[in-house]
Structures are given as C-alpha cells and as structure tokens.
Structure 1
Amino acid sequence: MKDLAKSGAVSADLATAFDASPNPYVLLTPDLRIAGMNDAYLEVTNSRREDIIDRPLFAAFDSGPGEEAPENVRQVKASLEKARDTRQRDHLALVRFSIPKKGPDGKVNFEDRYWSATHTPILDAEGKVAYLLQHTNDITELERLRRQHGLNDSETISALDAMIGGNVMRRAQLVQEDNRRLETERNRLIDLFMSAPGFVAILSGPEHVFDMHNAAYGHLIGRGSVVGKPIREALPDVDGQGYYELLDSVFATGEPIEGREAPVSFQTSADGPIQERFVNFAYQPIRDADGQVAGIFVQGHDVTDSVLAAQRQKLMIDELNHRVKNTLATVQSIAMQTARSHSNPASFAETFQARLMSLSHTHDLLTRSHWEGADLKDVLKHETEAHGCHRVLANGPHLALPPAAALSLGMIFHELATNAAKYGALSTTDGRVMVDWSVSEAPERRLNLVWREIGGPAVSPPVRRGFGSRLIERNVRHDLAGEVKLSYAAEGFEAELSVPLTKGQIS
C-alpha cells in the first residue's frame, strides 16, 4: 500500500491506516494482479512484500498440491471476477487454501488453512472498477478445535462446538455449495434467456421498469439496452398503441394477456421513419412470495415476415382472379369482334388464333418478371419479331410498364404489325416500320409514341373501320386513358399515341 501512496493512487493517511490494520487485506487490479497488501496479510500468508507485489494472485498463491487445489483456486477466482463484473461485494463463507511454509530443512511444505473471504470492488470517479479489496479471516483454529475434541457430524457435540466448531463450518460449507449450485443454475437460465430466438423481457413494478431483456428484444425495438427505464420512458413511440394499457391491466388483475399478429410501430431513431412490425406476444404476471404481482414476463416472436408473406399471397391471389376475369373478358371481346369481321370459319379461326397468340406472348413476357411489369421495347420486340427484327426499327428510352399497360400495348402492337403485314409496309420486301417514342414532362408526364410505315404500297383510308382499328382506339382511350390518331397518308400509314404516365397506367 505504501507503493500506491508514493504513486498518488491513494492518500498517505489511507495507506498508513491500511498497513496498520490487524485484519489481513490485499488490493488487486482488475486483472487480478497484486497491487498492495498490509502487514497482517503478509503475516497470515507467510510471504514477503517484494516476492508477491505486482504478481498475478494465483501465481503467488496456487493453493498447493492435492486434488482439491484447482477447485479451491476456481472458487476464489470466480468470487473475485463476480465482484469485478457486477461491481457488487461478494462473499466466500468457507474455502480451503494452502499456504507454503519453509521448514527447518529449507524444504517448502504446504499447510492447509481454512478461510472466509470478502471481495469488495473499489470504483473510480467514472464508476469503473479500479481495484478489488480482499479481506480474509483465517478460521483454521475453529476446525482444529473441532478435531481436537474428536467430534464428527454423527455425534452429539457441545454447545461450544455448535457455536464455533464443526456444525457452524459444516453449515457454512453446505450453504456455500448450495449458493454455487444456485449461481450456476441462475447463470444457465440467464444464458438461455439471453440466447432465446424469441424476444423476452422482465418488467418490474407498476411502472414496468425493465429488469432485463435479451438481444432479440433489443433488435425488435431497434435500440440499445433499456434496462432500468420504465417502459413509457424507454419506448415513448409505443404511446397510443394500447400496449401500456395491456401491461397495466396484467399488473392490476394478475390475468395474463396474449396477442397474435398484433401490429406495433417503432421509431428506431430520432429522425428515422416509423417502422411497423407484427408480433405474437404473451404478458405473464410475476408474483412475489406473498402472491402479489411484482412484475411482468414478456415473451413472443416477431412474425412480420410471415404476416407480410401472407398478405402478399392474398394480394397475388386476388390479383390473379382479377387478371383471369379480365383476360376472359378480353378473349370474349376478341371472339365477338373477330366473328363480326370474318364470316368464313377458316378466316375467323386464323385471325382469332393470331390475336390469342399475341395475348399469350405478352403474358409470357410478364410471367418472366413475376408479373411485376415489362419494358416497352421488350413488348414491341415480342409482338413484331416474327416479321424480322431488321424491319421494325425501335427508337426510344427504356420505359417500365405495369402489367395492365403491357397487355394493352402488346395487343396494340400486334394489331399494327398484322395490318402492316397485310396491307402496309411489311407486305413488301422493301417496307420498314419506324417506331419512335419519348417521354414529356410538362404539363404532365406522358408517353408519346409514333408508328410510321415507309416503303410499302400506296395507302388509302379504309372503307369501313375494322376490328383492329377499334381495338387500338379502345385500348388507348379506355385502358390507358390516352389519345390516338390514325393517319392513312399515301406514302404510308401512321399512328400517334399519347398516354399519361400516371399511377395505375405506366410508371
């Protein structure tokens, strides 16, 4: 201790009092090295200051030989580490620890001694453990007194022995062994608690103060430890969602409460977005020795992924039903309109089959993207590649189409390509089709597309409007909420489409 006084770690007065105490003390660093000791400690351990200062405690004193030595060292070390890690005083009621003594012949022998020990953490100004103070009492003479009387646990013993001898020491040993077992079981339960895959927490008192919680609970709430805080202070973002009131009810009535797929929203950072989660949970009352509710055990699982998956599956099923109905309605309309334009069954069958194949091609394209949409250029290529990719020249930016718009434009491109192959530019070897599109931003975002045929035969307006032109106009105006203009100039057919890029149309 004098060395610490010289270094300024302790005051000179404190060092003097420490060294003068008749009780044995040793001061240890947090890594269990000897930092100081008083004369009483040197005397009781039969050691010299210069031999043990700055040495690891268990290198200076190893409990000697014997089968029990490792367990004796483990007990002392575990008690010191517990005091250090918990910053709380820890006691050893009874431990056997041998002391080396040099005999007349110079040979070192180990003398068995029995000790009780108290380990006290000494904190610095920041609340961290600076030293550990070990205070020991040598109670070996009590054990020797019991042995001198020749008594054992099966015999009737005197009042004196009951007070200071074998029974006291035996009870102390049994209590210490029980405490060690309880500590081991407690640590095992805490390990299970902390590593549980579901979230768990223990709340105490009517204010629901966090006693402890595991990592899964911390992940759920999106913040660090909230131990020691009332729930209304720790989780203010849960206010108004009903969970405070559920906890109040469990504490007041003692009746457990369960919830399934319950939504709960957390704000994981001060300026971050609100995140909604879904949980299965149970609030179980914790009762004290008198049967009164002292706290609440919270347990459950985050089932957000499964809830969202179920919602998505239902949405997909509803969307599939909607698409099937729309597809059947489209097929019915195609059949009726084709029948009106083709009195010959063979001609009807050929045209009807071609239009169904066009619808099928676009469905295939959408299926590849799991019906999340398709690019305009891909839809155009899919519907016109049968006529030769070098004959339909596409020029425009990539533009993502949602499923409904992709189907409508697919049908439009099919009709335009079919008419061009029958009557227009694609009916001759030199004809070409130029397809240009762009996106305008003002006054609203719109798709502007032009289909222009060149190098084909002379064109004249049709005598009557066929199904193809009616389908194009209906799809643009009804399904896409746009505008269309069909021009039959002599040098080549031209179609101009203008479609708003609004939510629900094209994105």
Structure 2
Amino acid sequence: MAKSGGLAVDLASAFDASPNPYVLLTPDLRIAGVNQAYLDVTHTTREGLIGQPLFSAFDSGPGDEAPENVRQVRESLERARDTRQRDHLALVRFSIPVRLQDGREVFEDRYWSATHTPVLDERGGVVFLLQHTTDITELQRLRQQSRRTGAVTALDSILGGAVLVRAEQVQEANRRLETERNRLLEMFMQAPGFVCVLTGPDHVFQMHNPAYAQLIGHRDITGKPVREALPEIVNQGYAEFLDSVYATGEPHEGRASQLQLQRTPGAPLETLYLNFVYQPIRDSAGAIAGIFVQGHDVTESVRAAERQKLMIDELNHRVKNTLATVQSIAMQTARSHADPRTFAEGFQARLLALSHTHDLLTRSHWEGAGLGSILEHETEAHGAHRVSVAGPPVPLPPAAALSFGMIFHELATNAAKYGALSVPGGRIMVDWALANQANPRLELTWREIDGPGVIQPERKGFGSRLIERNVRHDLAGDVKLDYAADGFVATFSIPLDREQAT
C-alpha cells in the first residue's frame, strides 16, 4: 500500500486499471500476474494464464517465422533478467490466437513493441520481470500501405515511421551483436584448454570455461578474487605474476610451470605442470581492466618426458654394466683358454647365457624376472627331467637376475663337462627357501647326484671365480662350493635387499 494525497492507493488495483497491457513473470518466465488491458489485447482470461509458462500460453502460432519470433522475445526477457537492466524490443512480429464467431480458433499476425523491466528485491536479486507491450499492428500496416502507394516519407514522418525504422535498425544491430557474442562465448566455453577472465586489480573471476572448472576441482569461484578462490596458489608466485601483468600491461607466459592445486575438497595438494599465458585486457580508453588467462595442463607430457629421461639414463647404465660384464668375461675366458677355438666356444656360451637373461627381462619391460624362470632358461638344454627344482616364487630385480643367470650358466656348464650332467644317469637338485622375514635372505642349494666321482680342483677356474665374484660383489651374499666325493654342492645365502645388506 502507498499513501498519496491522504488516499490509500491499492497498487494491485492501479496495475489492473492501467490502460497499458502488462504481464508479470517469474524469473523462469511463468505468468504470475496480468492486468485487464493485457487480457483484452490477447483475448484471454486470467484463469487460463496464471501459472502457465509464457511460451506455452503464447507460442506465436504455426508459421515458419514463429520460432524466430519466440526467440526474440525470450532473449530480451533473459537479458533483462540476467543483466538486471531494462531491455527493449522496438518491433517484433508475434501472432496470437483469436476465436471467430463460428467457434474456430485462428492465429492473427500482430506487431508489438515491448519493454522488459526486472523487479529487484532489497538484495538486488530479480524476483519478477514486468513486460509492457504496445500493440502497434495498425501503425505497422499503415506504414506498409504507405510504401505500396509511394507516400512513404510524409506518412512515415506523421506516424513516426522514421523513428520506428531507426529503432528497428538498432534492434537488428543489437541482435547481430548478441549472436556474435553468443558465438564467441560458445567458442570460449568449448575451448580445449582452460580459459578464464579476471577483472580488476584483485583479479576477480568473471567467467571461466569447463576445462578451467575441471582443473580446479569444480569450485565455486565466480565473483571471488583469485586469492580467496584459490588460496593455495598465494605462496607459489602465480598471484604475483597476475599483479605484475595488471600493473605493467606486459603479458606473462609460463612453460611447464609446476603448480600445487587442491583438486578435490579435503584432499592433499596435487602437483601439476601447466603451459599458460596471462594476457592484459584493456578498456576503450586503453587502461587495463582485467586479465585473460589461457593455457593447457601438460602434466602427463612432463611426466612422460621425465619417465623417458629416466629410462634413457637407466639404459645407459645397463649398457655400461653389460659392456663391463662382457669385458670381464672376455678377459677371464682368455686367461683360462690359451687355444683360440676353445676361447671362442667358452666366450660365446657365456654371452648366450647373458642374452637369455636379457630376453627374460625384456619380456617384463626390465622390471625383473623370477628365480625359477632364470634357472629353467639356463638348464633346459640339458633336459628338464634331469634338473629337479623346489622353492617358492622369488622375483628378482634386473641386476640380480643378470647375476643369477651367469651363475646358473656356469654351474650347468661345469656339471655338463665334469659333473652329474656329464653321464646319462646324473641329476641335479636345486632347492631354495626364504629366511629371516625382517631382512629376507634367499638360501639356495645346488646339489649334483649320481654323477662321476668328484676331484677337488688344484686351482680355481674361471667359472668358480665368476660365481664368487657375482655373489660377493654384485649380490652382496655368500657362497660355499663343496667338492664332495659323492657330488658337487654349491650353497648360497643372498640378501634380497642388497642396499640394506650393504
């Protein structure tokens, strides 16, 4: 209620009594109220309209132009609602249903001029939209008739046609600008990289695309300064980069820059790597108004490059170690074989043993190999039925796998030359177990049975030296070679964690 001249004026009654057509809409464009003038001009009833979606009650009919007519009115209403500013439609064609005397309902083309005004609450939120429409159908028809008769200029001046023409031109220009704006906004939102717009010296988030939302864990950041919206970046230099760009107008570019972000509420910070650009945005006067942020998450690329470098470094290390092993094999084999032919045979056999273990490691992408698989590879040429194995699965890292490959090759070679595998009935039994769970050790025994009598060698051969060298230097373990008369026995005690053992 309002007081005027001592008389109480019922605003609802004044609204209904106005000769100008009005309709009151909710923010979701449902009809909340209409006045009598609106009912008269649309040939409708209040009961049939209240609560209805506006464009269900009025859809501009079945014509081809109907969707475009509806779009113009809807966009004007949405602009008024979203910007909280009054929006005008100088001229819009919108058909309304009219019931004829014979009861048939037809759609009649009408021309309207409309003003859409947002009604705000005390906090500035939109609670209603007020649509004021003026039926200018007769005026538009007179203008069209004047064009057909050639009396355009005089009649247009009398009827305000020039004003309407200019209004139509402005409206069409605004429509084109709005279409272009929507196209640019769509490109902005669908950009494959992350994009956002910051405004003012505090870098307030004005808008951002879905890729940026995904980057920061879909936080509610619109309308917040960057230091409040993303507090974890404050001590990482990025806020200072924004300050510098805003102060100097010079863009800033980052390449594979490391950033700690909290991508899930309550979760620990994650390390990301970003390529990005901070580009200053200038207003019409040339002053800096904000910053445009654009970039890409290159975390996977950076990590892939790091993995590749690590693999190359590891490959170089392995090649050097392999060459050193080959060099050692060549030197030791040469000392034990004066004859070039026997040297070539021994050297080639040991290189093949090294190659077999490399094949096993390649299959596992050099992550390691199982003890049982290595033993099987180095003894299968002598017949699987002659070598009995028993023990639990023991995965070995690459370096230990190579050492065990050489050890088993030497043991099998010596057994084939001098031991149990040199006679038809000889056999080998290999068993192992894991001891000391706190500091696991592999306890392995190689035992030859039913072979020829064993004679203690007068001096250590290359095979014995290679075995001892691999066990003590490469595996940090212990080995005992027992040349018992009833069969050769080799006993090994190897720590599975070489670094802890050393």
Partner of 1:7: none
CA shift in 2, pair 1:232/1:494, >3 Å: farther
Deviations 1:355-414 (A, max 9, x none): 111011111111222222222221111111111222222222323222211111111111
Alpha-carbon separation, structure 1, partners of 2:434 and 2:235 = 46
Question: How far is 1:166 from its partner?
Answer: 2.2
Alpha-carbon separation, structure 1, partners of 2:272 and 2:28 = 44
2:22 to 22, 25, 45: 25
Question: Residues 79 and 87 of structure 2 are in contact (CA less than 8 Å); yes or no, is this contact kept in structure 1?
Answer: no
Q: Please say which of residues 342-351 and 20-29 is displaced more in the overlay.
A: 20-29
Establish whether residue 183 from structure 1 lines up as the match of residue 181 from structure 2: no
Return the letter of the residue paired with 1:322.
Answer: H
Q: Please say which of residues 344-353 and 464-473 is displaced more in the overlay.
A: 344-353
Question: How far is 1:270 from its partner?
Answer: 4.7
CA shift in 2, pair 1:345/1:306, >3 Å: same
2:439 to 430, 440, 444: 444
**TM-score, normalization by structure 1:** 0.84
Deviations 1:412-448 (A, max 9, x none): 1111111222222222333332222233344423333
Partner of 2:277: 282
Question: How far is 1:144 from its partner?
Answer: 6.3
Partner of 2:40: 43
Deviations 1:63-109 (A, max 9, x none): 3576654422221233345566x484562322233445556777767
Alpha-carbon separation, structure 1, partners of 2:445 and 2:294 = 62
1:198 to 174, 193, 200: 193
CA shift in 2, pair 1:432/1:109, >3 Å: closer
Question: Residues 93 and 109 of structure 2 are in contact (CA less than 8 Å); yes or no, is this contact kept in structure 1?
Answer: no
Question: Residues 459 and 492 of structure 1 are in contact (CA less than 8 Å); yes or no, is this contact kept in structure 2?
Answer: yes
Alpha-carbon separation, structure 2, partners of 1:284 and 1:48 = 56
Q: Please say which of residues 189-198 and 481-490 is displaced more in the overlay.
A: 481-490
Partner of 2:111: 113
Return the letter of the residue paired with 1:117.
Answer: T
Matches within 5 A, 1:330-409: 330-409=325-404
Partner of 1:217: 212
Partner of 1:97: 94
Alpha-carbon separation, structure 2, partners of 1:321 and 1:181 = 63
Alpha-carbon separation, structure 2, partners of 1:153 and 1:404 = 101
Alpha-carbon separation, structure 1, partners of 2:266 and 2:47 = 59
Q: Please say which of residues 359-368 and 317-326 is displaced more in the overlay.
A: 317-326
Question: How far is 1:16 from its partner?
Answer: 5.6
Partner of 2:69: 72
Alpha-carbon separation, structure 2, partners of 1:439 and 1:203 = 63
Name structure 2 gaps, 5 residues minimum.
Answer: 1-9
Partner of 1:324: 319
Return the letter of the residue paired with 1:306.
Answer: S
Alpha-carbon separation, structure 2, partners of 1:141 and 1:353 = 103
Alpha-carbon separation, structure 1, partners of 2:313 and 2:109 = 85
Question: Residues 445 and 501 of structure 1 are in contact (CA less than 8 Å); yes or no, is this contact kept in structure 2?
Answer: yes
Deviations 1:315-369 (A, max 9, x none): 2222222222221211111111111112222222211111111011111111222
Alpha-carbon separation, structure 1, partners of 2:48 and 2:267 = 60
Question: How far is 1:51 from its partner?
Answer: 4.3
Establish whether residue 304 from structure 1 lines up as the match of residue 302 from structure 2: no
Partner of 2:58: 61
Alpha-carbon separation, structure 2, partners of 1:503 and 1:291 = 67
Question: Residues 63 and 98 of structure 1 are in contact (CA less than 8 Å); yes or no, is this contact kept in structure 2?
Answer: yes
Establish whether residue 464 from structure 1 lines up as the match of residue 462 from structure 2: no
Instruction: Describe the SS at the equivalent of 1:484.
Output: strand
Matches within 5 A, 1:73-88: 73-81=70-78, 86=82, 88=84
Return the letter of the residue paired with 1:492.
Answer: G
Name structure 1 gaps, 5 residues minimum.
Answer: 1-12
Partner of 2:6: none
Question: How far is 1:475 from its partner?
Answer: 0.9
1:425 to 420, 424, 431: 420
Question: How far is 1:249 from its partner?
Answer: 0.9
Matches within 5 A, 1:105-254: 110=108, 112-118=110-116, 120=118, 133-138=129-134, 140=136, 143=139, 147=143, 155=153, 165-254=160-249
CA shift in 2, pair 1:405/1:153, >3 Å: farther
Alpha-carbon separation, structure 2, partners of 1:314 and 1:234 = 36
Question: How far is 1:142 from its partner?
Answer: 9.2
Establish whether residue 475 from structure 1 lines up as the match of residue 473 from structure 2: no
Partner of 1:314: 309
Return the letter of the residue paired with 1:47.
Answer: T
Supply the RMSD in Å over aligned alpha carbons: 3.4
CA shift in 2, pair 1:60/1:329, >3 Å: closer
Question: Residues 484 and 495 of structure 1 are in contact (CA less than 8 Å); yes or no, is this contact kept in structure 2?
Answer: yes
Question: Residues 480 and 505 of structure 1 are in contact (CA less than 8 Å); yes or no, is this contact kept in structure 2?
Answer: no
Question: How far is 1:469 from its partner?
Answer: 1.2
CA shift in 2, pair 1:68/1:490, >3 Å: same
CA shift in 2, pair 1:100/1:343, >3 Å: closer
Question: Residues 101 and 111 of structure 1 are in contact (CA less than 8 Å); yes or no, is this contact kept in structure 2?
Answer: no
**TM-score, normalization by structure 2:** 0.85
Instruction: Describe the SS at the equivalent of 2:459.
Output: coil
Question: Residues 114 and 140 of structure 1 are in contact (CA less than 8 Å); yes or no, is this contact kept in structure 2?
Answer: yes
Question: Residues 97 and 112 of structure 1 are in contact (CA less than 8 Å); yes or no, is this contact kept in structure 2?
Answer: yes
CA shift in 2, pair 1:457/1:171, >3 Å: same
Partner of 2:7: none
Instruction: Describe the SS at the equivalent of 1:206.
Output: coil
Instruction: Describe the SS at the equivalent of 1:378.
Output: helix
Instruction: Describe the SS at the equivalent of 1:457.
Output: coil
Instruction: Describe the SS at the equivalent of 2:413.
Output: helix
Question: Residues 103 and 109 of structure 1 are in contact (CA less than 8 Å); yes or no, is this contact kept in structure 2?
Answer: no
Question: Residues 80 and 132 of structure 1 are in contact (CA less than 8 Å); yes or no, is this contact kept in structure 2?
Answer: no
Question: How far is 1:463 from its partner?
Answer: 1.5
CA shift in 2, pair 1:217/1:503, >3 Å: farther
